Structure 1
C-alpha cells in the first residue's frame, strides 16, 4: 500500500507498544505478524509516529530506535506543551494513566484513539469519557485483540451456521483482576455467541463465599441461553484466560487466551454401546500475530475511506462494564450491597 502518513502519538512505550516485536528483524513482512503496536504499524504502513510519551528514558530510547523522527516526551504535559498535532493517539500506558491521556485527546481534538483495556479503572469515568469523546466526534477503539483474529472469525461463522449446535454450558478461567484479563474473555464470548449477561443471584452467592482475592468460582454468566461459570485463579505464573464451551455437537476449548483451539467431536463410545463420547480431537492455533496488524489495517481504512471499526466503542464499553460489575460483587462480600453500589 502507498504512503498515507497518518500521524500517530504513542502514550506508554512498554511491552504492548514496543516490547513484543523482533528487534533482529526490523522489516516485518506480511508473514511475520506483530504482537506490539510498533511492529504492526510498520507492517501495515501509512502511519507516521511523530511522538512517544513515557517517563522511562530507557523505553523512550528504545522507541527512538524504531521511530527515529518521533519526538520524545517524559510526561503528557510535555507532549501538550510541545503542541504536537496528531491524527491518532495510542494509549498503552498503565491503566491508572488512561483517564488523563483520554482527557488530553479530547481537549486536543484528536480524531481517533486506540486504547488498551480497560478504558479506565473507574466505570463512571470510562462512561463519562466515552460519552464526551463521542459527542466531540472522536472514534475510540479498545485493543480486544481477538476481534481481529481471522481464526476467531472463522469459529464465529461455524457457530452461527449451527455446525456445533446449541450451547449447553461453559466455564472460563482467568488470572489477575477481572478487569485485567476479564474484558478480553467477555468480549470474545459476546463476539462469538451474542450478548453476555450476569446471573446476579448466583454471582452474588459466589461473592459471599469467596470475596475478593480468593480463587474459585466468582461469576455466572448468561450466554446464548446457557450458563457460563467463571473461575478466578490466584496463580501468578499463569496468564491470560481459558474457556471451555459445551455445545450439542462439539466441545470447544480456547486455551492460553485463544492461542490454541481444541475441538472434540463425538464418536461411538469404546465401552458403552449406543452412546457417544467427544473423542475426535482437532487442534489448531489462533492467529494473534496477525490480529493486531489486522486492527491497524482497519484503522488505515478508517482514515482513508471512512470505514467503520468492526465494533463501536459503546459495545466495547459494555464488555468492560460487565467486568466492573462482577468486580463490585467480588469486592463487596455482601452481594445485595454490591448490586446497589455496582454498575447500573
Structure 2
C-alpha cells in the first residue's frame, strides 16, 4: 500500500554550491549535501522554481534538477502568481536580508536560510521578528543540529554516560562567522550557555570582513573551552575534542569521522589509568541535510520542533559578533 503525503512546493534562491552544485558533480547514490539534492531525494518536496542573476548558472541548475521556472531576481516573483510552501535562501550572505524580506512577503510556510542569517545581528533580529509576526517558520542551516551523532552526544552528556566533562578543544579556520559559528552553535546546542573568558588577535585567513579568532570560553558550570585558530590557506579544518572523566571523544573532518578512547588500567604502571588507542568510526554527518529536510517537512505538517531556528541562529550570531569586536579591539 503506497503512502499518501502532501507534496510541498519549493523555491530556491541562489544556484551556487550549497544550493545544489556540490551534488551536481557527485554520484546520485551519495548522500545529498545541498538543498536541491535533499529536496530531490525526498519525494515529499518538489522544487518548482529557482532564482539566480547569472543566466548560464541558472540554466544549468534548472536543467540538472529539472526545475521548470527560473527568475533573475526574487523581486520578479509575485505572490499572486506563485505560491511556495518552502523557500530556501542560498544566495550570498550580503543578499540575505533583501531576499528574506521578499521571501516573507511571498508567505511561505517555512524559510530555510543559509547561515549567517544576515550580515548583521541587528538585521537578523528584525527578520526573525517579522517571520514570527507573519507566522512563518524560520530554519537556519547549522547542519550539525540535525546530525544524529550530535543529538546522541547531547543525550549522553545529559545522562552523564561519559562522566563529567573536563574540557573541550575545538579547531577551525576560514572565518568565525563563516565556519567558526558552527562550533559556537554546536557548543550552545550541546552544553547550554557559553561565556567568553578571553579572545586572541584576529587572523584574516580568507575573508577581509570575517577573521578567524582564537578564544577561551567557559560553560556556566566552569568547564574550560579552547577554540584554536588555524589558517584556511593550509587546508579545511573543523574538529572538536571532548575530554570526559571516562574517556575522550573527537569529531574529525566536520563530523565525517569520530574517534573515541576509553579509560583502562595501565599494564605497565601499576595504579595508573590510561587511555586506549583510538577507535575510528564513520559518522552520520553526510545524512544531516536529509534529516534537516525531514525535520522541516514535519515542522510544517505536524508542527514538530525545529532543531535549528532563527532564535538559536541569532544567539550564535550575536555571540560571534561580540568575539570579533573584542578581537579587533586588541590590534
Report if TM-score (shorter chain) is over 0.5. yes
Which residue does the alignment assign to 1:213?
A: 204
Which of 29, 37, 40 is 2:38 aligned to? 40
Alignment gaps of 5+ in structure 2: 206-210
Contact persistence 1:179–1:327 (CA under 8 A): no
Instruction: Normalising by structure 1, report the TM-score.
Output: 0.86
Contact persistence 1:12–1:92 (CA under 8 A): yes
Which of 127, 130, 137 is 1:129 aligned to? 127
Separation (CA, whole Å) in 2 of partners of 1:24 and 1:216:
30
Q: Give the CA deviation at 1:3.
A: 4.9
Q: Give the CA deviation at 1:69.
A: 4.2
CA separation of 1:250/1:24 partners in 2, compared to 1, >3 Å: closer, same or farther?
A: closer
Contact persistence 1:175–1:236 (CA under 8 A): no
Q: Give the CA deviation at 1:100.
A: 0.8
Which residue does the alignment assign to 2:175?
A: 177
Separation (CA, whole Å) in 2 of partners of 1:194 and 1:38:
32
Alignment size in residue pairs: 323
| Structure 1 residues 1-344: aligned runs within 5 Å | 1-21=3-23, 26=28, 32-80=30-78, 83-199=81-197, 202-203=198-199, 206=200, 210-213=201-204, 218-223=214-219, 225-269=222-266, 271-333=268-330
Separation (CA, whole Å) in 1 of partners of 2:79 and 2:213:
48
Quote the RMSD (CA, aligned, Å).
2.3
Q: Give the CA deviation at 1:104.
A: 0.7
CA separation of 1:40/1:240 partners in 2, compared to 1, >3 Å: closer, same or farther?
A: farther
Contact persistence 1:211–1:330 (CA under 8 A): yes
Separation (CA, whole Å) in 1 of partners of 2:86 and 2:152:
30
Which residue does the alignment assign to 1:341?
A: none
Contact persistence 1:53–1:79 (CA under 8 A): no
Between 173-182 and 217-226, the greater mean CA deviation after superposition: 217-226
SS at match of 2:278: strand
Alignment gaps of 5+ in structure 1: 335-344
Between 311-320 and 99-108, the greater mean CA deviation after superposition: 311-320
CA separation of 1:163/1:81 partners in 2, compared to 1, >3 Å: closer, same or farther?
A: closer
Instruction: Normalising by structure 2, report the TM-score.
Output: 0.89
Q: Deviations over 1:284-342 (max 9, x none)?
A: 122122111111111111222222313442123212221121112122227xxxxxxxx
CA separation of 1:165/1:217 partners in 2, compared to 1, >3 Å: closer, same or farther?
A: farther
Contact persistence 1:211–1:332 (CA under 8 A): no
Q: Give the CA deviation at 1:135.
A: 1.8
Separation (CA, whole Å) in 1 of partners of 2:237 and 2:55:
29
